[in-house]
Chains A and B, each alone.
Chain A
Amino acid sequence: MKTNDVILQTTTKVVFFIIFLFSIHIFFAGHYTPGGGFVGGLLTTGAIVLLLLAFDLKTVQLALPFNFTVVTAIGLLLALGTAAGAIVFDVPFFTHAFDYFELPLFGKTSLHTAMLFDSGVYLVVVGSAITIIQSIGGDD
């Protein structure tokens, strides 16, 4: 029996962007308020899972043409590279650096290398969770 998913699909198109923007907010707010790479990654995964629920697997793979195993690998490399970068400056492994910069739109902002590590965590969480869900959900 062909099902009628107009309401679910239309809502998903709106709600996906709310969840995705909130996950980005959580990711960037992680240094000073609750949040960070893990929660942000899981929220992004939740948004993509909502797309998977409303549309079928093929449509979502067409809309997001990433190989999520590669995304996991990039995240791990980014985290390892940030940690290993400390060796170049003759400080212990995993030492992070920060400084204040004058950015055009944000004004005075403190930029940390911990954020690069966090984006590695983010990519690993998104990549592995979506890989798990796609490999369980797709039976063909």
Chain B
Amino acid sequence: MDLIADIIIVLLVVVGIIFTIVTVIGILRLPDAYTRAHAASKSATLGVMSLLLGVFFHFWWNEGHFSIQLLLGIAFLFITSPIGGHLMSRAAYVAGVKPTELTVADDLQEVIEQKRTTAKRNTQED
């Protein structure tokens, strides 16, 4: 029983570390800000969540301590980390960071340009 518990814990921690390493490689290798945000916000979230879950199970099964903070941390990370990625990508887009040359479709550009022109017209009328 202890062996199965330890195997699950080690597996979770190893999966977390692998996903974190994949995040680092993604940030180094991908061509522009948006693909990097895609790598950073998804796999880093899963990696850290898996690590925290491994720590949680270790303290629960081996030390007999049910840590509610770690569960709260997992839920918190799951909510906030993708929002962070979304906000950074959006800020980059509005600030005018160009996507990579390989991009084939950009639907947000029309909307943003439309909004810019209406905002400019409104300020001129004032």
Residue ranges of A at the interface with B (Cβ–Cβ < 8 Å): 1-3, 7-8, 11, 14-15, 18, 22
Contacts and interface: CB of A to CB of B under 8 A. Distances in A.
Contact of B86 (A3, A7, A15, A22): A7
Interface stretch (B9-17, B20-28, B39-47, B75-83): B75-83
B72 A18 contact: yes
Interface residues of B, number: 14
Nearest to B120: A1
A8 B75 contact: no
Contacts, number: 26
A11 B115 contact: no
Given A15-B76, A18-B75, A22-B72, A7 B83 contact: yes
B4 interface: no
B63 to A, nearest CB: 15
B119 interface: yes
B113 to A, nearest CB: 10
Given A18-B72, A18-B75, A22-B72, A11 B119 contact: no
Given A8-B87, A22-B72, 8 more contacts: A1-B115, A1-B116, A1-B119, A2-B115, A3-B94, A7-B87, A14-B79, A18-B79
